[in-house]
Amino acid sequence: MAASWSELMLSKLVGRCNNFFQPGSSRAMCKPFMVGDQQVGWVWPGVEKHIQRFPDVFMVEDKQVSLCPSLQMYEERTARVQEVMVKLREEGEFIALKGWRDEMYEVFHQRSSPPVFRMERTATALLGVKQYGVHVNGYVEHPQKGPLMWIGRRAKNKSTYPGKLDQVTAGGFTAGLTAQEVLVKECAEEANIPQDIALTAQPAGAISYFYEDERGLFPEIQFVFDLKLPLDFQPVNTDGEVSEFYLWDMDKVKEQIAQPDFKPNCAMVVLDFLIRHGHIHPDQEPRYLQFLENLHKTLF
Amino acid sequence: MAASWSELMLSKLVGRCNNFFQPGSSRAMCKPFMVGDQQVGWVWPGVEKHIQRFPDVFMVEDKQVSLCPSLQMYEERTARVQEVMVKLREEGEFIALKGWRDEMYEVFHQRSSPPVFRMERTATALLGVKQYGVHVNGYVEHPQKGPLMWIGRRAKNKSTYPGKLDQVTAGGFTAGLTAQEVLVKECAEEANIPQDIALTAQPAGAISYFYEDERGLFPEIQFVFDLKLPLDFQPVNTDGEVSEFYLWDMDKVKEQIAQPDFKPNCAMVVLDFLIRHGHIHPDQEPRYLQFLENLHKTLF
């Protein structure tokens, strides 16, 4: 039983969350996407074919695809890339662009330096650009039952992973916001957590992984926060994105994250929590180091 | 001041703890060391030159060095590799072998499967074999001062990193022991922490990094434990390996780990603790993600 949980969990981490690194992925066919002399993404052949029609925005070469060197300024790069993406969206070729959100994400060389341009969130998958987000483990310390965790079920009408299990709240990094601002905003919208409680959340690291699916490439980094909620607090969804909340003990949570019902990257966030809080022991879990390796992939 | 701490810390992580991945390292000249069809280490040219004199133990080829395929059994592999290392030690060529410890380390394909052979601890650096250890963050929750951490100073006569700052206790994985057994043993020897307290230590993950120095190659994985000590507990060294213990607040600890006085891999263990416990915030620390990337390198 224990072995079977370990293998299910590992297979999710390797085969879903990090399938870009697996044999048979599109990796060997992708070209690095460069801004200046630094890689900021990956371009797969299906995208390359289309963006080479815009040679004053994208320069397609044998070994790489670059943003045209003539585009030097943040606003100009943003405007020209956006024109291309709007055009591609109208042409209707790409599944990713059908989920257009009118939400801008920033593209960085390093997150410690200013962004080099910004682009529509759903279009990042076409250029294999890193996406950043904030995930919150909402838990309570029950005097009798021990630690319990709040788990949300995504609404059936969400465009991605409808009906799957998820953190109590999580959100992507809209351009210009800090991690704390994303956290406070998502706590309010997704679970009705008041700001004074949200601000007690403790940063606890980040996970990084790289998957691909029919929409494109997803190199992602999620900043992880632990939020201890009051015993009597009941999360309530206010934006229609969550259909239900459950309060489960750690055994139940652990069992569930290995199942197909749990959104893969959210399962990783919980796994990281379980490891950090001592709920998984290296002497009892044969896949301990492989779990950690897959929670912390170097993306590019 | 904050920026300067970040750059010092990052430079230690990149330039010391992970210098094998840096330009100018011996990496480009090393050959994978194989047991069967799986890599278990790296061989650098200075070692290759010597071990090719033992063709019935090591098979040196253009692209790799392998343990001879005729050596199929754990005990036979162990005995033959040990003969070579004893011989090399007698010849006195290698600094690493001058620190001979008569302590056996296991060599794994994956730590989740049985070891493929075992070898003298100090000789692992010659074959670039992964070393595993257990590091313990010993801390107290002070009612007025908040969290404080016990830091040890290594004895001046230690063969490695004499006089440097270190965890309250840490130790390598002697063949056949579990992480918990290593922990209990080192807690007793290095800090006189009784077994009943040692057993309350919580596993909290692992860090992985790869450095090289004049002794050889060090791909290392340290299992990390957090041990909350009683307020009135005073660690006392019993094996002569620690000269002094300090109890510092988190600001002082954070400041010190970036300094040359702090043993590099022990500084990483503390940095991981500071990140996991929310003492470093992603919105305030520009190098947050680079710290994490360097705490969790995929070794091979």
- Subunit contact A282:B223, Cβ cutoff 8 A: yes
Tens of pLDDT, residue by residue over A83-109, are 999 999 999 999 999 989 999 999 999
The pLDDT value recorded for residue B1 is 47
CA distance B178 to chain A (A): 6
* CB-closest option in A203, A275, A293 to B282: A203
The pLDDT value recorded for residue A3 is 55
The pLDDT value recorded for residue A1 is 46
Judge contact between A118 and A29, C-beta under 8 A. no
In sequence order, the 6+-apart residues with CB closer than 8 A to the CB of B272 are B204, B205, B207, B224, B295
> At residue A171, does pLDDT exceed 70?
yes
* A298 near B CB under 8 A: yes
* CB-closest option in B110, B226, B278 to A203: B278
- Residue-averaged pLDDT of chain A: 96
* A144 near B CB under 8 A: no
* CB-closest option in A205, A280, A283 to B178: A283
Confidence grade of residue A217 (pLDDT, cut at 50, 70, 90):
very high
- Subunit contact B111:A293, Cβ cutoff 8 A: no
What ipTM, to 2 d.p.? 0.96
- Subunit contact A203:B275, Cβ cutoff 8 A: yes
* CB-closest option in A180, A286, A298 to B283: A180
A122: alpha, beta or left, given left = phi > 0 and alpha = psi -120 to 50? alpha
DSSP category for residue A93: -
Instruction: Spell out which residues of chain B touch residue A133, defining contact as CB-CB under 8 Å.
Output: none
* CB-closest option in B206, B275, B277 to A289: B206
Tell me the two tokens of residue A195.
């700001």
Residues facing A59 on adjacent strands: A66
Enumerate domains of chain A plus CATH numbers: 2-21+131-295 (3.90.79.10), 26-124 (3.30.750.160)
The pLDDT value recorded for residue B3 is 55
The pLDDT value recorded for residue B112 is 85
CA distance B56 to chain A (A): 33
Instruction: Spell out which residues of chain A touch residue B208, defining contact as CB-CB under 8 Å.
Output: 292-293
- Subunit contact A290:B112, Cβ cutoff 8 A: yes
Tens of pLDDT, residue by residue over A240-269, are 999 999 999 999 999 999 999 999 999 999
> At residue A174, does pLDDT exceed 90?
no
Closest residue of A to B114, CA-based? Answer: A286
The pLDDT value recorded for residue A127 is 98
* Segments in chain B below pLDDT 50: 1
* CB-closest option in B179, B280, B289 to A221: B289
* A52 near B CB under 8 A: no
* A280 near B CB under 8 A: yes
Instruction: Spell out which residues of chain A touch residue B290, defining contact as CB-CB under 8 Å.
Output: 110, 112
CA distance A163 to chain B (A): 31
- Subunit contact A283:B112, Cβ cutoff 8 A: no
The pLDDT value recorded for residue A159 is 84
Tens of pLDDT, residue by residue over A43-69, are 999 999 999 999 999 999 999 999 999
Confidence grade of residue A283 (pLDDT, cut at 50, 70, 90):
very high
Instruction: Spell out which residues of chain A touch residue B296, defining contact as CB-CB under 8 Å.
Output: 292-293, 295-296
Tens of pLDDT, residue by residue over B230-278, are 999 999 998 899 999 999 999 999 999 999 999 999 999 999 999 999 9
CA distance B86 to chain A (A): 32
Hey, of A109, A110, A112, which one would you mutate to test binding to chain B, going by the most B CBs within 10 A of its CB? Answer: A112
* CB-closest option in B221, B226, B280 to A289: B221
